[in-house]
Amino acid sequence: MTTQIELNQMRFFSYHGVNEQERLTGNDFTVDLLLSVPFEKATITDNLDDTISYAVVYDLVRHEMSIPSHLLEHLAGRILTILKCTFPQLTAVTLRVTKLAPPLSGDMHSASVILSEIYVV
C-alpha cells in the first residue's frame, strides 16, 4: 500500500532572497509537502503515534521558514533535512517552496523550487 500525507499551501511571511532588500522587507511564501510514510497501522489503530503529526510537520517548516536564506534551494534542503531527522520512518518527500510575487523586472506570479528525495529504509 502506498501511503502519503499531503500538506498544501502552508503560507508564511519570511525574509529569503539574494537581494538585501528582500531580506529586509520580506515576502509571502508557500510550502507544499508530499510525505510518503508507512502508516498502515494508523488505519487500524486510529492512533497518532502510528503516523506523522501534521502539527509537528507544520511547526518544523515554520521554524525553518523563520531563518533567512539567500536561496530557496538552501531553504528547501534545510526543510528536507529536519523532516528526515525528525521522522526517520519517511520513505520519500517531495517539497515545493514558492516565493509569491518575486521582485523581478517583469510580471510573474511566483517562483518555486521543488526537491524530491527517496529514502532507503
Report the catalytic residues: 99
- Residue 7's contacts (CB-CB under 8 Å, 6 or more residues apart) are 31, 32, 33, 35, 54, 57, 58
Which of 103, 113, 96, 20 has its CA nearest to residue 61?
96
Which of 1, 8, 10, 6 has its CA nearest to residue 63?
10
The residue assigned the cell 510537520 is: 57
